[in-house]
A and B are shown apart, each in its own frame.
Chain A
Amino acid sequence: MRSSAILRVFVFMLVVLAAYLWVGQAITAMTGGERKAASVVEVTPEGGEAIFWGKGRCFTCHSLGGEGSAVRCPNLGQFGEKFPLAIGARAEQRAKERSDETGTHYSSTDYLVESLARPDAYLVEGYKNEMAIVYAPPISLNLTEIKAVIAYLQSQGGDLDLEGIENPGELAQTYYARIAAASAAGGGDPGNGEEMFVDTCSDCHTIQGEGGEVGPDLSSIGNKGLKFISESILRPARKITKGYETWVVVTESDERKHVGLKTEETSTEVEITKATGEVATIARDDIREIEQDEGASVMPDDLTEMLTVKDFQDVLAYLMMQKGEDGAEAETGK
């Protein structure tokens, strides 16, 4: 083996690596260096711009006129025939459209807040609903940052209304409450959480009069805080609401064991409602044994295997929003 061959190969490698470095250097010179994104604490168009092109990652899906290269979602600037108006002016038009569609008055701020808080509410034709929940991980914008983005979008061809952003009407306030609840719950998506709740929990639990009655009414559960709700889902037996304890009744005649809530009790009978909703009425004379099982809950303890992390966060976010009438009013600042 000739040493000159090794040397030639080594020099060749250095040339290749130098070319690689040059490409990296040239691209960095064009596109900028390391990417740090700072939090924004002021609701201004400048703050929103920093979020739009930084932490919020809006630019990965939306272009703004000639800025940016994303085509996945609508261009938010004035761009070609499809988008003759920039988003600020477009929002005013869309607000009218939404008002007509829903019968509720929309301001341009309402429309923009809705677009960020519930992107599926209105879809631009030809585009799919694939917008990330911006107040959920990994983006996790807080309410101030979201307001700043709205200010930035309004400034694109529209009338900037900072007062309207800070103190909007009822509709936007509801969405602000939704974002605040979701942020508190680790950033879940309450919309998906509601669907998950209906599919998984509503057979037993009621919210605002909808659902089953085996478990406690959860219409005001949000007032109990995140920790309580989280514990109740993950370890239902640890904190059982009074009146929802688990009872075990063994009958004399057929030695059957009935496990469930004691929903009715008279001098002659005991009514046990099982997790499935089935109701067993047992004569007191037929009871061999009746006792409360303090270590068990009627609520399934394998929910964690049925829910993904995201589903769990989504349900939490939805439940955090359930603050009854008083709670909801307090949340929206009324």
Chain B
Amino acid sequence: MSKMLEIGAAIEAGKGKNVQDLIQAAIGEGMKPMDVLQGMIDAMGAVGEKFRTGEIYVPEMLIAARAMKKGLEVLRPLVVGESGATVGKFIVGTVAGDLHDIGKNLVAMMVESQGFDVIDLGVDVKAEKFVEAIKANPDCRVIGISVLLTTTMPAVKDTLSALAAAGVRNQVKVMVGGAPVTQAFVDNIGADGFAADAATAAGKAKELNKRLN
């Protein structure tokens, strides 16, 4: 098995320590860090696809994403400054008043594993905090808002209004997700993207990121 295939298999199996060792061995054998990164992104893409089609479930995707994260800890310092080392930035948070983070964390992990630099604002994120984060990261093109409760859904619209009022709405594409969210809701409040699950969200973030490029 080639080193890259081994790294991919270790990611899928959720073996974080193995992933780190294999990356170091691959670099030692002369593989370019950027090629390793691309191989890992492809491997996580395949994991995401298996999740999307129902072949695997949250636990399997979660351990793969955690192993990917371990691998990135080793690889990131080696690719800093290389063009294409990150696809772009992704600011994410659970909307004001809502303290739920399981779905948001999964989305953050899957988006990160597709090469994004993720800025996670946590839960109960007030609109001003999104505004500040966008202003502090003018190169960020996509943000994600998570919402679980029907009672906090109105706060998503309020957040969009606050982005517009602060003059940063056109700087970013906004994707929204969470159990009660539908495409119709997203269209209705004037957000830009919806994904029904974390793997699809990662693809959506890439797509929206490209659209603004």
- Chains A and B bind each other: no
